[in-house]
Each structure stands twice: as C-alpha cells, then as structure tokens.
Structure 1
C-alpha cells in the first residue's frame, strides 16, 4: 500500500503541473524514442479524461553532455503517443512560459523547456532548499496541483522533483505509483516458492548492496556480465580484469575487491556463478569453460552451459527479478544469455520485474512482449534503491507534503 496521494485523489478539471521523465538516448542530436514516452502517455491520457489542463515538466541529459538538448523533439514524440497535439514553449518559468500556461484550456497539453536549463534545478540539495528556488515558487502559483510521474528520477533531490510537494498539493502519477509498488514488492509480499534474481550489468557498486540487503529474501542470485567476472575473480579464476584496452574491471576491483570477497564468502550458498563464457573469434561466437581459463580476450556473454542452468532455475521460480544484462545483447551473437533468460521468464507463470534501462531495451530489441512480465521498470538508480530498501527522496516528499 502506498502512503501518498495519487491521481485517484484529484478532483477533475484542474490546472496541473506534471513532472515526467522522458530522458532518452540522443544520437547525432536526434532523440531516440523509448518506452518512457509510452508509459507517461498513459498517465496523461487518464488525466485528460478528467478534463485537466496539463503543463509538463521534464529534463533531457545534463549540462555539458551531448544528450543535453531542447525538448522540442520530445513534444512531437509525445504527441504521437497521445494521439493529440502537444504545444511546446522554449521557456520554463519565464514570461513566455507563464503566458502559455495562462492560456491553457482544459484538455490541452503543454511541454515546457528542459528544466535542467534552469538555475536552481541542479545540484542535489535538501527539499526545503529546493522549495525556495525561483523555479518552484514561480511555477507553483500557476497551478492547482502538482503531479510527479517521474519515478526514474525519484532518487534525485532536484527542484522539479522535491520542491513542489512542499509548497502545493502533490500527487503521484500512475508510473510513479505502479513502479514504486512493484519494485518494492520483493520485501512487501510473500512468495510461495523460490525467489530468483538475475544480476548482471557493469557496476559493482549497484550490485553488491542488492546481494547484501536481499540475501534474506532471495534464494538464488544468478550472476553475469562484468559483475559475474568480478565474482569469478574473487573465487580464484583468471578473470575480472581489463584486456584489449577495456576499462571495466581493474578500477572496480581496486575499489570493491574486499567487499566482493566478503560478499562471496558470506552468501556463497546463494550465489550462482557462470561456468562458461562466450567471446569473439574471427567474427564468430566461441565458448570456453571457466575452469582453467586464462583471460586473454574480452568475454561478452555467459555460455550455453550457464544459460541452461540459469533458465532451469528461472523456470521453477515463483518470483524472478532482473537487474542488468548478462551479456552484450546489442550484438546478436552475444545476446543468447539475456534473451534466453528473459524468454524463460516470459514463459513462466511467476511474478517478474525486469529493471534497468538497458535491460528493458533488450525486450524491445528482441521482440519480446512486455505484457509477459509483471513489470518492466523504466528506472535505473531508483530501481536499485527500491530493491535494497533505500528511501527515495521523490517518494519521501510526496508522503511528507501530500495535500495541503
């Protein structure tokens, strides 16, 4: 159960400021559509059905990065998902934006300019500080209520996330509500059978806390990717260090080796490590057993033996959580592990949550049906924090602020 107001508590026909997260990949200055637009469009359509007037607040990239662009393209993409026009204004809280907001009619949707272009949005500071920014104080007076649907950014103490709930009525949108409920379910609900977690990806600092915090509720952690190699190194294998000019392993081992070794020792009975790996040789996929291996190339996927073990464990599980891919799935030759695991989850009658932006992308890339999973999370950092029981500041302020 959530302890914050949701859009179910909203009266109809209000003027709403809705924070969404349509932060997307950008290639050569062009925004690449992703599932976040579709998710937020569902919330917006529900609000439009109650005849609200809606101004959207969102971000794209960070200052100094190639992905830091205007949201003009986002308005067109969102309009396609909504099936109606979305007006864009190249301003966030100045005179032009305020004029556009003032002229909003019920049933209209307006997208304001990239909020990270505004002074006061960044950096992360206490919510009470952010509530006093000019951005928050100026915009708040133009709306009846604020709706936060940006779960993927719920772990960030930025003005557009934590400031508004302290100065105006605030509600959680559908994405915020559903993501929070499903991602915290691992601690809030009991499962009759085995709980399995697939842990892959590239960041040890994201993975180790998951094992440490969930060892009492997860029966088996199946490891792959960079994380799998680092734990294999801790287990005495000649793996988990950089070759071919890579920069993935050595710095992480230097920073986390003691914690990885301690975690392996403490939870060895729950950690399932790869027994074979795949690499590229003359443009072909080649597999090798871990036992006796000497690393002289990059390993890009778990091998067939490991895939069979992991999918067998998944197929007999009552609940399966996925955090990170077990291979470089963007290359079809090394997508076998990730796709086989996800396909098995889809075919298994189990509670399932797939998290992390890259892993969620693999579902689209390989034509899997999102409906075959209980939840496909569009969040990265917020997903990890929810799994490990850490508080999310965006949720905290909704609980603290609520309705005024």
Structure 2
C-alpha cells in the first residue's frame, strides 16, 4: 500500500507534512488534539536522528483564520518536548538557508504553505511536482513524510507533489487513520455493525449510507439528517423555523434519495423516538415523535428515550462507527444525545471509530477518555471520503511513490 516509518531508517533529511489547522480567536491560535497526535510522529523522527522540516497550513486566504504559523511552532514544541524553530518563508532563500542549517535531531517549521501561490490549486500530482515550490525544496531532502490524513482529500502541492519526486512514507497519524477509517471495507466483524449518523451536512451522511449499503446492519440517525428522514417518514419536522437555514435547502437537494433509502432500508434505519427543544424557561424540554407532532421552534437534540433505545442497539454491536453529532452538544443542555451515545460506546466491548471534527470535539469537551474508543479520528472530509470508498489524493500519492521506488529496484 504505502511505506511507513518502520521502513525509514535513521539520520535522514526529512520533509514532513502535518495538519496543524486550528481554531483562531482574536488572532490567537488555539491548541487542539492535532498537535498531540502529530507530536508522536515528529518525536519519533527526532529520536531517530533525522533533520526534521515541517510543513503545515492554517486557514484559507481571505479568512480570519489565515495566519502565520509562528504560534504553531510553540504549541508543537510543547508536545514534542523539543524546541521547534520557525522561518517566515515557505520555499524562498530564507527557508532554504534555514533548512541547510539544521543539525540532526533539530526541528524547523516552515511558514503556512497556503501563503505559496503553488499550494492551493487543485491540480494533478504531476503538475504540482513540477511547481517551483516542489522543485525548490525537494533537492534539500532525502525523503518526504505525509502525516496529514485529515487533509489527504486535497490535491495540493504539499500533499501530492513531493511523493512524485522523493521517496515517501506515511507518518503515524496517517497510518492509524487510514487503517481505522477503511476498516468497514477491510475488516470482518463477528456480529452486527452499527453506524450512528448525525451532524449538519445531510448530503455527506446520505453519501455514506448510499456507499456502504449492506456493510451496515443498523443506522441510528439524529441531528439535521435525523429530522429530514423523519420528514420523509411523514412527521411534521425537518424544515426551517425561527430564521434557521439548515433544513429546507438540504431537503430540496436530497428528498428523492432520502425517500429511496428509507424505503429500501426501513428495517435497518432507526429514527429518533423523541426530540428536545428549549422551553419558555430556557430549559431543556422533550416531546415524543408522534403523528400529531408539529415543529414550531428549533429542535436541538434527540431525546432521552432515543438515547436509551440507541444504546440498546450499540450494546449488541460488534462494531460502531460514528459520523456527526446528534444535537447541539456545545450547549450542555443539548449534549444528552451525542454524549449519551458516546458514553454507551465507551462502555461497550466493541470496535469503535469516532469520526468527524465535531464528534471528536465532544469527547474532549465532556472529558471522555479516548482510550475507551478504538480510534478517534481528527479527520472530517477525508473520513467521509474513506467511508464512501472515494480515493484520497494524498494517500494515492504515497502509494504511487511506493510503486515507483519498487519498480526502480526491480529494473
């Protein structure tokens, strides 16, 4: 498939792509689990005596989150427990000079790769490999390491260009994410497989359901997609009220597919039994989903009965995959669905993968221990693409690099 750090050796000049993209508030970069995850790869490279140069991105041009990586260097250093130098340049003379000045075991972080005009265009790997960005930096290194699984669905220069001109390896995050997120297709489980689906992006969820087909025994729905499926089932929910713009346009885009899935898999799709809202006293209130239900106010979570029923299915499962939150968990009043399901998974003897940025954030926000889950993904778009069987350009580039090296050895 692709080479990993187990095959790398020691004492190389290595160019490493991480995903350190983080929330930014008032110009301050906030810590998140990505630093801790990627620190394992960087620390291992330092211990093996490599000269380590790190590439990463932050935000997109034109957005408030598009800032320098100078703060990221300090955050990464805390987790690696080794100083991380920073150079305010991506691939100019200043960057090249700093790279050449590194000693074994030292780390250098380059400036935000999205500040290079060569980085962002979605192009074939061959075109990126010929860019000034890649052609300038590649000769300074012995190999390239991609640890940025969460960005692997992008065909950007730092992700797909370097593997075509350098021996390429997967970092520890890339390796673990790929193995866990493709396990639905690659593993066999001794028992039923359940998928908990929620979140705000109904199209993503529907794509996942369509792609997985017979691989899943039970679908447990919540969030916006749960309401849209309830709407298709004939209940008076799943549309915008109170100024929201979350439901109606997604219904228009997906109504036919939702109705088809509900008809084809009615025995495997479980919809919320009750829903929660904010009452006049600003408290959480719940009502059962019945034929006479009416949506007069925003619905913010699944109800307690739903959590209990979903929990019974989870407890009988050999594997559980999660994509998306079941409610507005950032508000503690409406965290019951998301946190309740996660707590049940944590105490159930099953293989479990928790995917999507929001869902994994709930684990951190409510103090759940990651060790109780088989894998907690830090990927969003890449996780969805993996579940739907779509290729990931970043992974494909690593595979091509491996094939190229093996072909040259055979000749």
Is the pair's TM-score, using the shorter chain for normalization, greater than 0.5? Answer: yes
For 2:13, the equivalent position in structure 1 comes to: 15
Q: Matched residue pairs, number?
A: 402
* Alpha-carbon shift at residue 87 of structure 1 (Å): 0.5
For 1:367, the equivalent position in structure 2 comes to: 367
Q: Is contact 1:19–1:57 with CA below 8 Å preserved after alignment? A: yes
Distance in 2 (alpha carbons) for counterparts of 1:174 and 1:376: 14
* Alpha-carbon shift at residue 11 of structure 1 (Å): 2.1
| 5+ long unaligned stretches in structure 1 | none
**Segments of 4+ moved more than 2 angstroms:** none
For residue 52 of structure 2, give the secondary structure of its aligned residue in structure 1: strand
Distance in 2 (alpha carbons) for counterparts of 1:11 and 1:361: 35
For residue 141 of structure 1, give the secondary structure of its aligned residue in structure 2: helix
1:72 to 70, 73, 76: 70
* Alpha-carbon shift at residue 32 of structure 1 (Å): 1.1
Distance in 2 (alpha carbons) for counterparts of 1:84 and 1:229: 48
Mapping of residues 1-400 of structure 1, within 5 Å: 3-281=1-279, 282-291=281-290, 292-400=292-400
Distance in 2 (alpha carbons) for counterparts of 1:397 and 1:78: 26
* Alpha-carbon shift at residue 104 of structure 1 (Å): 0.6
Distance in 2 (alpha carbons) for counterparts of 1:172 and 1:351: 23
* Alpha-carbon shift at residue 7 of structure 1 (Å): 1.2
For residue 144 of structure 2, give the secondary structure of its aligned residue in structure 1: strand
Q: Is contact 1:215–1:270 with CA below 8 Å preserved after alignment? A: no
Distance in 2 (alpha carbons) for counterparts of 1:20 and 1:163: 15
Query: For 1:249-275, what per-residue CA distance to the aligned partner results, in whole angstroms no more than 9, with x for missing partners?
Result: 111111111111111111111111001
Query: For 1:106-137, what per-residue CA distance to the aligned partner results, in whole angstroms no more than 9, with x for missing partners?
Result: 10011000000101101211111111111111
Distance in 1 (alpha carbons) for counterparts of 2:157 and 2:319: 36
Pairwise CA RMSD: 0.8
* Alpha-carbon shift at residue 194 of structure 1 (Å): 1.1
Query: For 1:85-106, what per-residue CA distance to the aligned partner results, in whole angstroms no more than 9, with x for missing partners?
Result: 1001110101111110000111
For residue 299 of structure 1, give the secondary structure of its aligned residue in structure 2: coil
For residue 214 of structure 2, give the secondary structure of its aligned residue in structure 1: coil
Distance in 2 (alpha carbons) for counterparts of 1:297 and 1:73: 42
Distance in 1 (alpha carbons) for counterparts of 2:199 and 2:359: 9
Distance in 2 (alpha carbons) for counterparts of 1:151 and 1:344: 28
Distance in 2 (alpha carbons) for counterparts of 1:27 and 1:247: 25
What TM-score comes out, normalization by structure 2 length? 0.97
